[in-house]
Amino acid sequence: MRHLLSTRDLDRASAIRLLDVAEDMAETADRAVRTLPALRDKTVVNLFFEDSTRTRLSFEAAAKRLSANVITFSAKGSSVSKGESLKDTAQTLLAMGADAIVVRHHDSGAAHRLANAGWIDAAIINAGDGTHEHPTQALLDAFTMRQRRFGSEARGRGLDGLRIVIVGDILHSRVARSNVWLLHLLGAEVHLVAPRTLLPTGVATWPVTVHEHLDDALALEPDAVMMLRIQTERMRDAYFPNPREYGREWGLTHERFARLGPDTMVMHPGPMNRGLEISSSAADSSGSTVLAQVTNGVFIRMAVLYLLVAGADAAISAPGNAASATGVTG
């Protein structure tokens, strides 16, 4: 694996190895010294053309815990605002010694362009491109589901047989797209729920079941319900009558949450619009994984950076050896 651009690029074995290496990284969290030497003298650049406090800080924390040098570049106030191209920006960063570039961009395909144009020789990690994909978010979601469901016996497992319901703004959601492909790869049964206006063209060809009414999907007794943020910043038209109507038809209200099974996971990639997509009773419940998703995001990004930058072929070819390869030796 040279780059991480899309969950569609992963095969099942690679996805499970990534999740297993993230388990190794998670073991460092409770130790007095949480920093590993794996990326010492390596440089990771966070190249963000879109605002994203949560994802940027998570990648920064992950790189620093692996002892990498971290450069964070925001397009605002930079030469990009003066017209500098993506190519010139990337090559400037490479000249500074970047071993990996974490890129978030408002255009779908920007990460793929950076990885394949021949401009630079560095590992590229897609931290969200337009309405295309956000692969590390899907990996941390899968890691959280696996951890919550299987606990200490999670290693080596997929998500076979789990029923996952994804609700909301599928049209604009790169999180939904990355999750659909990864969850299907790991053996889960995926259901999408959205107003017809918020379903993308071509969804009928995806490996999912589509519902228009949330109550129909919840009646299937899902193992996890993933609520998506309404991305008003990407909307140029009215996609639903009004927020009140949306909350009543497609929100995880207190009443709907009360009907879920005791072990049903409630997920949200954040930031949450409480009262619109999700009620506070659901978001703050014991079934909520929202904060665990944030915590696990650091472990997943540590695993991705480690596997891409450290050249961890030994860990890839021998699952379970990642701990010793990273310096996680107890």
With a cut of 60, say whether residue 265 has pLDDT above it. yes
200 annotated ligand binder: no
Least trusted range by pLDDT, from 50-59, 161-170, 254-263: 50-59
172 annotated ligand binder: no
Q: Where do we find the tokens 């009262």?
A: 275
pLDDT at 88: 86
Left, alpha or beta for 320 (phi > 0: left; psi -120 to 50: alpha)?
A: left
Domains of the chain in sequence order: 3-134+292-310 (3.40.50.1370), 136-290 (3.40.50.1370)
pLDDT at 188: 98
Q: Which residues contact 80 (CB under 8 A, 6 or more apart)?
A: 49, 89
CA 110 to chain centre: 17
For the segment 191-218, the average pLDDT, to the nearest whole number, is 96
What is the overall mean pLDDT for the chain? 90
Q: What percent of the chain has pLDDT over 70?
A: 90
Q: Which residues contact 283 (CB under 8 A, 6 or more apart)?
A: 266, 268, 272, 274, 290
With a cut of 70, say whether residue 18 has pLDDT above it. yes
For the segment 214-221, the average pLDDT, to the nearest whole number, is 97
* pLDDT tens per residue, range 270-292: 889 898 899 999 999 999 999 99
151 annotated ligand binder: no
C-alpha torsion sign, points 152, 263, 222, 238: negative
128 annotated ligand binder: no
163 annotated ligand binder: no
109 annotated ligand binder: no
CA 104 to chain centre: 12
65 annotated ligand binder: no
For the segment 289-310, the average pLDDT, to the nearest whole number, is 97
Q: What is the rounded CA–CA span in Å between residue 163 and residue 4?
A: 26
With a cut of 50, say whether residue 211 has pLDDT above it. yes
Q: If we measure between CA atoms, which residue out of 67, 65, 58, 176 comes closest to residue 127?
A: 58
Strand arrangement, sheet containing 100-105: 69-74, 43-48, 100-105, 123-129
User: Residue 197: how many CB atoms within 10 A of its CB?
Assistant: 12
Reported confidence tier of residue 71, pLDDT bands at 50, 70, 90: very high
105 annotated ligand binder: no
With a cut of 80, say whether residue 235 has pLDDT above it. no
Token pair in block for residue 88 = 């010139």
Q: Give DSSP secondary structure letters for 162-209.
A: -EEEEES-TTT-HHHHHHHHHHHHTT-EEEEE--GGGS-TTGGGSSSE
With a cut of 80, say whether residue 234 has pLDDT above it. no
Q: By three-state DSSP, how is residue 271 classified?
A: coil
